[in-house]
Every structure is written in structure tokens, then in C-alpha cells.
Amino acid sequence: MIDASIERLLREFTPQVLGTVVRRFRDFAAAEDAVQEALLAAATQWPDDGLPANPRAWLTQVALRRMMDRIRSESARRRREEDLLHRSEAAPEHLAPEPVGMEEDDTLVLLFMCCHSALTPASAIALTLRAVGGLTTAEIAKAFLVPEATMAQRISRAKQSIRDSGIPFRLPTAGERTERLRAVLHVLYLIFNEGYTSSGGAHLQRLELSSEAIHLTRLLRNLLPDDPEISGLLALMLLTDARRLARTTSEGDLIPLDRQDRALWDRRQIAEGVALVSAALRKGAVGIYQLQAAISAVHDEAARAEDTDWPQILALYDLLRRITDNPMVALNHAVAAAMVNGPANGLELLDALNADPRVANHHRFHAVRAHLLEMAGDAPAAARHYRAAAAKTASLPERNYLLIQAARLADSRN
């Protein structure tokens, strides 16, 4: 099994190397294949040979050589081969590191390229999660609440569309940025979410993903400093990530928000997040990320769980539901309603989601119902839904937590 530190490096460098190869060869699908081969070579060689002096340059060199091998083997496409060979000058044997900052530019360009208008919004987001976020097809399918096979086809078609459209590898114009920005923000949001609460595996969090999402969002804000939704998204990430150290025990077990040691929360991140969302909201154009950041700020500013201003949170969710039909927002709205008006109101709101195929079979739907049933005093039904939620999640920490809650309620009846 590959060493965790090597795996982190490979994940960090993948979008940077892919951006470099796409920029040189203008063939997204072939470049992705070449980079995957380079990653496989690194995973095989680095554990035995040790890390190269410049891991990113090593990966770039191997990927470029794979691309040249591919071009040379395509005799039917000789004219394209000659053009690329002339342009790339046969890929040097030893690649010098590129100027500082180039990999950041390429990653941001890659982000916008994958969110091109030639693709449907869903395909653009899925492709970017693969190329920039490094998420697997299964992880992306879970984020979109669709079967893995459906998502694989969507990503394949997106790659083909990129190839056929001749999309240039460059930062978009101001008009193009506006056109693609919504998809770019959604991609960064999903990458962060997968890092903060992994959809599967033995660990609740994947720090490399959430950190990369914050890093890319900072780059995007540097590019477009006056956009309030970019500031709102960065604020949301910082305010949420500020709780990271308090979310698990030393053994990796999940700790829910109301039981966390708030002394472990990162107050510097909270202060930055609050300042960002406060400034963004004053600009008047309120969006979904600003509202979610405002909700996170209310949670983070409460000294104790019982001090949480739930009426304010419910009011913010009321606003949020008016501008998005996201079923996860509806779930959180039901929890806020229960905290303000009692569990019966929350359960009534959940009943309205029973017919929504995006969420009715999701583990969070059952987990929320279990929580509200427990609040209402129906321990047997709550235990049943905790077990149902546990059966539907691929995250071991979440599964263990849900089963412990079910067992706790069963023990209380004995």
C-alpha cells in the first residue's frame, strides 16, 4: 500500500501536472491518461527509490514522455504529430522546475477550462471534480446522488466534448468568467465537502481535499476580489474547517457539533470567516454561499451549544430555501425548525421530502429523522432509523457513530 505522505504529494501535484500537459498538448483526455500513467509510475518507484528532488518536475517529465510516446505511435495522425513535436521540441530529458506560481496559474486555468460552456453544468462540475479535485467516479456519483455508471458516462462525454470543441487552455475573459463562475464555485464547494466529511472509508476527513479547496478558493478570490459569492464560499470553508480538530476523538470517532470542545476551534479562522461574510453581505447581492457562511458564523460564535441562536439560523435557512432547492438544505432547515418550534414541526417538514429521490434514500435523511424522533421521545423508531442510516453510509466513522446511537437507545429501554 502506498505511503500516506506520497499519496498526499501525488494528489497535490496531479492538477498542476495535468494543467502543464494540457497547456502544451491541447488534448485533455490524452493528457489525463498520461498523467495517470505518471502517477502509477511514481506510486511504484518512489517507495523503493525515494522521493526525487523535485517531485512535480519528475511527474511532469514522465507525463510528457508518455504523451510523446502516444503521439509517435499514431501513424494515422502524422501531421498532428509533426506539429506537436515541433512545438514541444521532443520533451527535454531533464525538465527544469517551472517558475514559481506557474502551477497555481495552470490549476486555476484548468478549473475554468473544465467548466466551459461547451459542457452541461452537471458534466462540467463532474469533470472538474475528477481533474482538479482528484475525486473518484464513485465519490462524485455520491455527491450528485446518482449511480456510479451514470457518472462514468457523464465524465466520458465531457472529455469528448472538450476534445471536439478545441477549447483553448487560458484564463477566460471577464465575460467567460461570469458565465462559468457558478459551476467553478460549486466544484470548489463539493471538493471541500468531500474533504471535510468523506463519503467513504476509514477516516471522517480528508485534509488534503479540504485544504486544496480553500487554497483554490483563495486563488479565485485574488483573481476576482469584488465578487461577494467567492468571499462567501471562502468564509463558509474557513468557518466550517475551523471546527476540524474538535470533530473526532484521538481514535478517529465522530463527535457531533453540540458535543465538541469549542476550545479546540480555530479562532483565527473564525475571525477571518466572519469578516469575509460580513463584508460580502454588505454588498447586497446575497447568494447561497454567503447565507451558508452566515449560518456557520452563528454556530461558531456561540460559546456553548445551548447558546446557539437557532431562531436566527432558522431565518437564514428560510432565505436559503427560497433561492435553492438543494435537498440537503431542506434537511438542515428541518433540524433548525425542530430546534425552534419542536420536533413535530421538523418531522412534518421531513415528510415532505419522502418523495424526493435525491434524498429519500440518503443516509443523512434517516439520520436526521432519527435525531428528531429521539427529540420527540420515540426511542424505538429513532433507533430503527439510526440503524437504517448506518446501513446506507460508506463512511466507517459515521456508521460507527450511528450504530452507537441506536445501541444507546436500545440500552435505555432495558
Residue 400: predicted pLDDT: 96
3-state secondary structure of 252: coil
Q: Would you put residue 155 in left (φ > 0), alpha (ψ -120 to 50) or beta?
A: alpha
C-alpha span between 126 and 111 (Å, rounded): 11
| C-beta neighbour count of 141 within 10 angstroms | 21
Q: How far is CA 305 from CA 54, 258, 260, 300, 301, in A?
A: 47, 5, 9, 9, 10
Q: Cβ distance 208 to 244 under 8 Å?
A: no
Q: Would you put residue 166 in left (φ > 0), alpha (ψ -120 to 50) or beta?
A: left
Q: How far is CA 303 from CA 189, 235, 247, 259, 306, in A?
A: 27, 19, 16, 12, 8
Hey, what CATH topology would domain 326-414 get?
A: 1.25.40
C-alpha span between 39 and 243 (Å, rounded): 33
C-alpha span between 247 and 140 (Å, rounded): 23
Name 243's Cβ contacts closer than 8 Å, sequence gap at least 6: 257, 260, 264, 265, 266, 300
Q: What is the CA radius of gyration of the chain?
A: 23
Q: Sketch the domain layout of the chain as residue ranges.
A: 1-95, 326-414
C-alpha span between 208 and 194 (Å, rounded): 10
Q: How far is CA 359 from CA 145, 327, 363, in A?
A: 8, 6, 8
Residue 286: predicted pLDDT: 92
Residue 414: predicted pLDDT: 58
Name 33's Cβ contacts closer than 8 Å, sequence gap at least 6: 66, 70
Specify which residues 200 forms β-bridges with: 394
Angle (CA) 131-132-137 rounded to 5° is: 50
The set of cell numbers assigned to 116 is 466551459
User: pLDDT tens digits, the chain, 414 residues: what are they?
Assistant: 556 677 777 877 888 888 888 878 877 778 888 888 888 888 888 888 888 888 888 999 999 988 888 877 765 455 555 565 555 544 444 443 443 333 445 788 888 888 877 788 778 888 888 888 777 888 888 777 788 888 888 888 888 887 777 777 677 788 888 888 988 899 899 889 988 998 888 889 988 889 888 988 998 999 899 999 999 999 999 999 999 999 999 999 999 999 999 999 999 999 999 999 999 999 988 999 999 999 999 999 999 999 999 999 999 999 999 999 999 999 999 999 999 999 999 999 999 998 888 888 899 999 999 999 999 999 999 999 999 999 999 899 999 999 999 999 987 665
